[in-house]
Chain A
Amino acid sequence: MRARVLIRPKAGILDPQGVAVERALPALGFEDVSGVHIGRLVELDVQDPSQLQAMCEKLLANPLIEDYEVQLLDGSQ
């Protein structure tokens, strides 16, 4: 099964990449943008989707500093 894991910095942790992009957008004429955060996207095929949470906790994300969200892509849509 195809799965997608979205990983983003935990709320409240300084995200300098997000800040830099948020600052750059108005300079390009995109006003009123806020709350920009930059994370990572991991896509993978798994036999057993119930393992995804453990994978995230152990390797794909660092729960101390990152939140993650698992999306299953096949069949579920």
Chain B
Amino acid sequence: MKFGVLQFPGSCDEVDALQAARRVGDAELLWHGERDLRGADAIVVPGGFSYGDYLRAGAIARFAPVMESVIAFANDGGPVLGICNGFQVLCEARLLPGALLPNANLRFTFRQVKLEIANPDCAFTSAAAGAASLSIPAKHSWGRYYAEEHTLDEMERTGQVVLRYLPGHNFNGSLRDIAGVQNATGNVFGLMPHPEHAVDEMTGSTDGLRIFESMRLTVEGARA
């Protein structure tokens, strides 16, 4: 099982994601200018400020050569995880519904947040089954999830809302406390909190590791 972790010129958390993925499988970095996904079984679009985020977070990154391959990979049913800026990139690429807007508090905010698993049966949370909640750090200034009301209704009905902020933890003002969503086919998932920063007790918690483990189970289950 091999993860490919994208690397844009302004990526910040790509090495963290690489190290987190290596706790459950193989992983390597994929340069934004290349189209070859090097046989990766799953893709991680990491956090950071891909191209400085000067127009809108993720707006320029989604046109990178590597993203053409990622979009094709996703449309083929390959698992794709977008974290923070990666979530923004996936929304800009229309692989995920909705958009991320500036935080309601208008500040970059770093906080350990508690998340409710709204969909425990999906490809990205299966290894977290039974967990009452996940404690994962969030750190961003553009994390307010937005989609139109009818879209949100449909997403809730079909299990596309995967993670929600528990009461008191939605500092960015996301609609319906949404922290993470998946696409209609359940193979593309984006979230604002950083699971790759919750993989070791020494540096916080290990709840984020469940997301990577879930992806491994999904890939290996599909193979078996």
Interface residues in chain A, defined as those with a beta carbon under 8 Å from any beta carbon in chain B = 9, 13-14, 16-17, 20, 40, 59-60, 62, 64-65
Contacts and interface: CB of A to CB of B under 8 A. Distances in A.
A62 to B, nearest CB: 6
Interface in B125-171: 144, 146-148
Contacts of B144: 14
Contact of B106 (A9, A17, A60): A17
Interface in B53-82: 55-56, 59-60, 63
B146 A65 contact: yes
Contact of A16 (B56, B63, B98, B104): B104
Contacts of A40: 55
Interface SS majority for chain B: loop
B103 A62 contact: no
A29 B104 CA distance: 25
B55 A59 contact: yes
A59 B104 contact: no
Interface in B4-61: 55-56, 59-60
Given A16-B103, A65-B101, A59 B63 contact: yes
A62 B102 CA distance: 14
| Closest 7 pairs between A and B when the two form their complex, measured CB to CB | A65-B99, A64-B99, A16-B106, A16-B104, A62-B99, A62-B56, A20-B106
A20 to B, nearest CB: 6
Contacts of A64: 98-99, 146-148
Contact of B104 (A9, A14, A62, A65): A14
Given A13-B101, A14-B173, A16-B104, A59 B59 contact: yes
A62 B97 CA distance: 12
Contacts of A59: 55, 59-60, 63
Interface SS majority for chain A: mixed
A9 to B, nearest CB: 8
Interface in B69-114: 92, 98-99, 101-106
A72 to B, nearest CB: 21
Nearest to B63: A59
B146 A62 contact: no
A20 B106 CA distance: 9
A1 to B, nearest CB: 21
B142 to A, nearest CB: 11
27 contacts: A9-B101, A13-B101, A13-B146, A14-B101, A14-B104, A14-B144, A14-B173, A16-B102, A16-B103, A16-B104, A16-B105, A17-B102, A17-B106, A20-B106, A59-B59, A59-B63, A60-B55, A62-B56, A62-B59, A62-B92, A64-B98, A64-B99, A64-B146, A64-B147, A64-B148, A65-B99, A65-B101
A62 B173 CA distance: 19
